Amino acid sequence: MPQIHAISESKLVLRYWNCAGRGMLMRYMAYDADLDFIDDLVDIDEDFLGGTWESTKKFLPELAGPFKALPVVQHHGATINETGACSQYVAEIAGYMPKIPLDRAKVIMISDHIYEDILINISYALWGFRDWDRDVIGGFAGPTSGLPLKFSNLEDILANSTSGFAVGSEVSMADFAIFYIVDILTQRMLEVESGPAAVELLFGSKPALAKHQKMMATRPNMSKYRSSAQWKLYGPYLSGKGVMGERTHELELGDTELEGIEILASKLVTCLT
């Protein structure tokens, strides 16, 4: 249930901005597992643009945690920061972390690859903090080690799986992480001119990934959540810029989210053609 900054002694609270960004992975798992939790939103317009985040909210440990940022997970009186820790904790209580240490390591390996090497580079490039060619399309080991390689890695993992799941024989956080990144990029790219061609080039010849997306999207609770009014509040926006729409220009925040996505899509078309 959405509530305004619920402070709860014992109930699970997931708190993030009203965009997908670093918050969507934990939300997907919590809704899929039907956890009893509060989906608490901090508002981009009211709090980020309105200034209450910077002046007050980020300095409230019960709201923004010890690291003064979001996402935050609260449970049993404790407050946790950092996307990886928040997501892993939700995965643990939802039953989406395996028990075997090597399988747990594989789940973290896949989730970290998606977070650090894909999601964060794209998000930072959208805000102008990283370079599309060097940090997103390219990579640390040169121009062929960026985005296309990361998605080939995910396709290979799924193609080699006998269960259809990324790790072992059950659904895990890794499956939700794969679903989220492929889904948000597909959705956003399909809204811009070069997007359909980029989606086809990036995902078109990846049958294992396509089958996996369908499997995850048709899980009953995923399907229900994704068609809910709650999901629509934040699910379509990759970053806070998405919520601002065209206003990024008058706010002197540069390109809109979709203008950034068009840069990404057109660069992908060039490098993959």
Choose between 181 and 199: whose C-beta lies nearer to ligand GSH.
181
Region 79-98 residues binding ligand GSH, contact defined as CB under 6 A = 82-83
Cα within 13 Å of Cα(32), Cβ side: 26
CB of 17 to ligand GSH, least distance (A): 6
Nearer to ligand GSH (CB atom), residue 70 or residue 258:
70
Tally of CA atoms within 13 A in the half-sphere of 45 that contains its CB: 7
The answer to whether the bond into 71 is cis (omega within 30° of 0) is yes
Q: Which is nearer to ligand GSH, 69 or 269 (CB)?
A: 69
* Residue 69 engages ligand GSH in binding (rule: CB under 6 A): yes
User: Is the Cβ of residue 41 or residue 201 nearer to ligand GSH in the bound state?
Assistant: 41
The minimum distance between CB 243 and ligand GSH, in angstroms, equals 12
- E strand or H helix at 177, and its extent? helix 173-189
Considering CB under 6 A, how many residues would be counted as binding ligand GSH?
8
Q: Give the shortest CB-12-to-ligand GSH separation in angstroms.
A: 18
Q: Is 271 in contact with 137 (CB distance < 8 Å)?
A: yes
Q: Does 216 bind ligand GSH (CB under 6 A)?
A: no
Residue numbers 20-49 binding ligand GSH by CB under 6 A: 21-22
Residue 144: other Cβ atoms inside 10 A = 11
Give least dist CB 76 to ligand GSH, A: 20
CA 106 to chain centre: 19
Q: How far is the CB of 101 from ligand GSH (least distance, A)?
A: 24
Does the N-terminal peptide bond of residue 2 adopt cis geometry, omega within 30 degrees of 0? no
- Parallel, antiparallel or unpaired: strands 12-17 and 72-75: antiparallel
Which one, 22 or 27, has the nearer CB to ligand GSH?
22
Residue from 104, 77, 110 nearest 92 by CA = 104
Token pair 């925040």 in the structure block, residue: 253
Complex with ligand GSH: residue 126 or 171, whichever CB lies closer: 126
Q: Tell me if residue 227 falls in helix, strand or coil.
A: coil
Give the one residue of 70, 110, 184, 261 binding ligand GSH; rule: CB under 6 A: 70
Is 112 or 191 the residue whose CB approaches ligand GSH more closely?
112
In the bound complex, what is the minimum distance in angstroms from residue 62's beta carbon to ligand GSH? 15
Token digits of residue 15: 């708190």
Q: How far apart are CA 98 and CA 91, in angstroms?
A: 9
Of 64-72, 101-109, 130-138, 215-223: span binding ligand GSH (CB under 6 A): 64-72
Q: How far is the CB of 105 from ligand GSH (least distance, A)?
A: 20
C-alpha gyration radius of the chain: 18
Can you give the binding site for ligand GSH, defined by CB under 6 A? 21-22, 58, 69-71, 82-83
